[in-house]
Each structure stands twice: as structure tokens, then as C-alpha cells.
Structure 1
Amino acid sequence: MARESYQEQLDSMQEDVLYMSEVVIDRLRMALEAMETKDEELAQRVIEGDDEINDLYLDLEQDCIDLLALQQPVAGDLRLIASSFKIITDLERIGDLATNLGEHTLDADRDMFPEVDINAIGDLTVEMVEDAMEAYEHEDVDRCYEIAARDDDLDELCADASRAVVRDLIETELGEEATEEEVEDLMQDVSRMLLTVRDLERVGDHAVNISARTLYMVEKDDELIY
């Protein structure tokens, strides 16, 4: 195959990875909006949209395999394809986490834990994924390190949120006269909130993974991978 055609395939693959990231980020924003507004219809759209993300992932996976098998790339091209393959895996998992958030919205039956700013946590995760994909697109090494450092802030926010949920449970929700059914209902709400916080934290972890693969792709530096 002519070199020009091969380069066009590489460019097309990278463009498709960026497109997949746009779809995933849009789903994540929709999930956060659905959670904030208690919009069950929007939450359902996020859940149903997971199939589209899975299809994009499978198509790109095959493109990466074809490039590896048919072109036998070396050096920078090989790192680009291998990193892209890993990045689409992280994007697919972020899509799964967005679906989880949609399901949490459908399961929740009341407002709780106003002291937990899920919107702030969610906004930070979206920004991290967006910046990670910009770093991939522009081969921005500095931004890769910035995103990895920002993950510490996200972890701290998530830890504070989890502590707030447990503290609220202990201090204000449970009384001596609570029935077993009331306790069980409360525990389910607490569990959903903790799962929500965990899922958002994992989105940040995937953003760091994307940055790590971009850093390796550009400079063959595996510092952020391990």
C-alpha cells in the first residue's frame, strides 16, 4: 500500500478516536445533567446510547488491528496505534461509567446529601477527559503531567464527599426509633451516592490513563503509566 494511503489511514484513525471522545464526553455531560435535574428521560437516553459507544469502540479496535497487521508500523507510528488502542478502551469504560450514572439517577427516589457537590466533581472529571483528549490531539506533553497532578484534587474531592455521606448518615439520618425498613432505604441511598462518587473518580483515572498513553506516544516516556 502506498505510503500516502497509509498516512491517511493513520490520520483517519486519530480523527475517529477524537470523534469517539466527543460522543463519550457528551454522554457524560448528559448523565451529570440528568442527575442534577432528576431528568429520568435524559438518564434513559444515556443508558440507551451506550450501544453507540460500544460500536464505535469495536470499529476502532478493528482499525487498529488492521493497521498493526497489514502495515507492520514501527517507532512513532507503532506507539500512535498502540496508544490509540489503549485510549479507546478508556473511552469505552468512561461511557460505561456515564451509563452507571444514568442508572443511579433512575434508582434514586429522593434528594439527599446536599453538602456533597456532585456537580463540582462531575465538572472536574469532564474537564480532565477533555484536556486529556486535547493533549492526545496536539501531542501536548505538559498537559499530560498537568492532568495527572489534577487527579490528586479529584481524589481529595471524592474522599471528602464519601466522608460527608457517612457523617450525614450517622449524625442526622439514623435515630433510635428508626425502623428496619427506614434503615434499609437509607443504606440504599447512601450506597448509590458512594457509587456515584466512585464512578466519577474512576472517570478521572481514565483521563490520566489517556494522558499517560499520549506521553508515551509522543516521547516514549512511561513515567505516568506505572
Structure 2
Amino acid sequence: MARQGYQEQLDQLQEDVLYMSEVVTEALRQGLDALEQKDEDLAWQVIDGDDEINEMYLELEGSCIDLFALQQPVAGDLRFIASSFKIITDLERIADLATNLGEYALEAKSDMYPEVDIQAIGDFTLEMVEQAMTAYAVTDTEACYDIADRDDELDALCERASSIVVRDLIETEFDGQNREEDVEELMQAVSRLLLTIRDLERVGDHAVNIAARTLYMAENSDELIY
């Protein structure tokens, strides 16, 4: 009977981790929408929702610690709990990056670089996170390698987007006729856009981390951990 209760705890942990991922991916999706639509209400919804995700993280952290301390898991169970613990940390950090998007949305007035498709990059990272969590749910090791490969594509997208912004800034001519406030607005827009690209790239890195921990959980392999 005690063993059945222990297995139920493990099943509940996985269910709770998957639920947290749904909340986090929704926050990321809303952050991207707020940025695209310049929607302040939606931006505040993402920002204010971060406290709930932090509380969820702390509760799951406590569950993992209890399982370590009280059940003394070994072998596959130990890897599952340890991996879940690491995964919720990555999810919490993705939520922080989604909050950043909400804050950028509050500051953005217009799209100064329409040729930089932030939504496409954001959708790509969102797919990576969702794919990583599906791999965790069904123990799909092949998907773990696919996510790691997709990260190279994401890095290329982000590098190309950053290059467009930097090249345009270098080619922009400033003279005495430029108002100081206009120059300042341009610099803030450039900084905000580069930060957005960087944050989305980091979301992809966290998706790879999730895949790496899933692979470790399933096969005791640290091949993707870095």
C-alpha cells in the first residue's frame, strides 16, 4: 500500500510539472501577443501572473525535496525526481522571460524594424518548449535530440535578426538636425528589440535544458546537458 502511495506521488509530480508548463507557455504566448498588439492590459496580466508561477515553483520544489528526503528514491525514480526538479527551474526562468516581454510591451510605441519578425521567432521558441514538455510527458528521447538540433536554427534566426538591427543602426546618419529625444527614442527601441531577441534565444536554451534532463531521466545519459 505504501508503495502504491509512493507511485501516486510520482505520478502527481509529473502531472503538476506538466500543468506548470501549460501556465508558463500560456504566459509566453500572452507576452508575445502583448508585444505584437501593444496591449498594456495583456502585458500587465503576464507581469502580475508571474507571482502565481513563482508560488507554483516553490510548491513543486517542496514536493521534490519531500520525495528525496522521505522516500529515498534510487535508479530511475531518482533520475525522474531530479530531472523534474531541474525542469521546473527552467520553466520558472521561462516565465521570467515572458514577464520581460510584458515589460517591453509597456514601453513599445511602434515597430521600428518591421523586417524583424519577432512573432516568428517567438512562435519557434514556443514550439520548442511545448515539444520539450511533450517529450518529458511521454519519454520521447528522439524528440530530445530534435530539440537540441532546432536550437541551432533558432540561434541562426536570432543572429540574423540582431544583425539587421545593428546594421541599420550603423547606417543611420545622425546630424545636428536630429532632435535629442528622437535619438534617445531610437536607441531605446533598438535596445529593447535586441533584448527581446536575446530573451527569446534564452527561452530556446531552456527548452534544450528540459530536453537534456528528459534524456537523462530516460536513459541516464548526460549527452545534451551543458
Per the alignment, residue 13 of structure 1 pairs with 13
Q: Per-residue deviation at 1:175?
A: 3.0
Per the alignment, residue 47 of structure 1 pairs with 47
Per the alignment, residue 126 of structure 2 pairs with 126
Whole-angstrom CA distance in 1 between matches of 2:39 and 2:101: 12
Whole-angstrom CA distance in 2 between matches of 1:78 and 1:55: 24
Is the CA contact 2:38–2:109 (under 8 Å) kept in the aligned structure 1? no
TM-score (structure 2 length as normaliser): 0.97
Whole-angstrom CA distance in 1 between matches of 2:140 and 2:48: 34
Is the CA contact 1:97–1:203 (under 8 Å) kept in the aligned structure 2? yes
TM-score (structure 1 length as normaliser): 0.97
Which amino acid letter does the alignment assign opposite residue 43 of structure 2?
A: A
Deviations 1:27-73 (A, max 9, x none): 00001111111111101100000011001100000000000000000
Whole-angstrom CA distance in 2 between matches of 1:174 and 1:53: 45
Which amino acid letter does the alignment assign opposite residue 186 of structure 2?
A: L
Is the CA contact 1:30–1:43 (under 8 Å) kept in the aligned structure 2? yes
Is the CA contact 2:35–2:108 (under 8 Å) kept in the aligned structure 1? no
Q: Per-residue deviation at 1:151?
A: 0.2
Whole-angstrom CA distance in 1 between matches of 2:139 and 2:116: 35
Whole-angstrom CA distance in 2 between matches of 1:210 and 1:63: 19
Aligned residues between the structures: 225
Q: Per-residue deviation at 1:170?
A: 2.6
Q: Per-residue deviation at 1:109?
A: 2.3
Per the alignment, residue 167 of structure 1 pairs with 167
Per the alignment, residue 98 of structure 2 pairs with 98
2:20 aligned with 1:25: no
Per the alignment, residue 194 of structure 1 pairs with 194
Q: Where does the alignment leave 5 or more consecutive residues of structure 1 unmatched?
A: none
DSSP 3-state at the match of 1:49: helix
DSSP 3-state at the match of 1:29: helix
Whole-angstrom CA distance in 2 between matches of 1:159 and 1:191: 15
Whole-angstrom CA distance in 2 between matches of 1:67 and 1:27: 29
Which amino acid letter does the alignment assign opposite residue 63 of structure 1?
A: S
Q: Per-residue deviation at 1:185?
A: 1.8
DSSP 3-state at the match of 1:144: helix
Percent of pairs identical after alignment?
71
Per the alignment, residue 179 of structure 2 pairs with 179
The structure 1 segments of at least 4 consecutive aligned residues displaced by more than 4 Å after TM superposition are none
Is the CA contact 2:16–2:60 (under 8 Å) kept in the aligned structure 1? yes
**What is the aligned-residue RMSD (CA, Å)?**
1.0
Q: Where does the alignment leave 5 or more consecutive residues of structure 2 unmatched?
A: none
